[in-house]
Amino acid sequence: MLNHWQTHKDRLRGYIGKRVDSPAAIDDILQEVYLKAHTHLHQLRDNASLNGWLYRIAHNAIMDHHRQRHSHNELPDDLAAPQTDDAEQAHRELAQCLVPLIDELPERYRVPLQLAELQGLSQQQIADHLGLTLSGAKSRVQRGRQQLRQRLTACCDIEVGRGGVLDYHPKDPDCRGC
């Protein structure tokens, strides 16, 4: 087996050298490859795959080396908290609009929607609480969401992006919801 190691030594050193700058690190990684290969030799199922197996070990050792090199600086204690962005502010304001709009829904949809969205109950918990089947609870929550969406879009122009609601503007300043 020693002759196999010697056969691959120069090629592995070249492979590692293309990915690591320090000559001392190249030798350290090469030694680590040989140690790992020796201790895990029992996992090699076919000697014909020795070459690929050694390169996989070398690749992993190189990745470990690069991970260890990156230092992480601690953040200073006096670092100011980030200012709230416009999207977060729009979310908070829009959430305040939802409660009156939910309150306008028929009780059949309002109660399950409040339990799901405002109290955070699962749909199974809603079904148990209201004495409904699971599919009945899901249906009522879904229909409540649809009716809420209709009321919300009738009341406000909503700008939606990748992160959800970005901004909104009431269509009518006298709208009861907003």
Where a domain ends, among 17, 41, 68?
Answer: 68
| pLDDT at residue 138, rounded to an integer | 95
Burial of 15 (0-12, 13-18, 19+ CB in 10 A): buried
Structural domain boundaries enclosing 31: 2-68
Is residue 79 situated within a structural domain?
no
Q: Are residue 36 and residue 63 in the same domain, yes or no?
A: yes
Divide the 178 residues of the chain into consecutive groups of 10 and give the mean pLDDT of each group.
71 89 90 87 74 86 84 69 64 70 90 87 93 95 91 77 69 62
Q: Are residue 154 and residue 116 in the same domain, yes or no?
A: yes
Where a domain ends, among 36, 68, 100?
Answer: 68
Burial of 98 (0-12, 13-18, 19+ CB in 10 A): middle
| pLDDT at residue 147, rounded to an integer | 92
Q: Are residue 9 and residue 43 in the same domain, yes or no?
A: yes
- Rounded Cα distance, 111 and 131, in Å: 13
Q: Are residue 94 and residue 51 in the same domain, yes or no?
A: no
Domain count, the chain: 2
- Rounded Cα distance, 66 and 63, in Å: 5
Residues 6+ apart with CB under 8 A from 17: 23, 26
Is residue 57 situated within a structural domain?
yes
**What CATH number does the domain containing 40 carry?**
1.10.1740.10
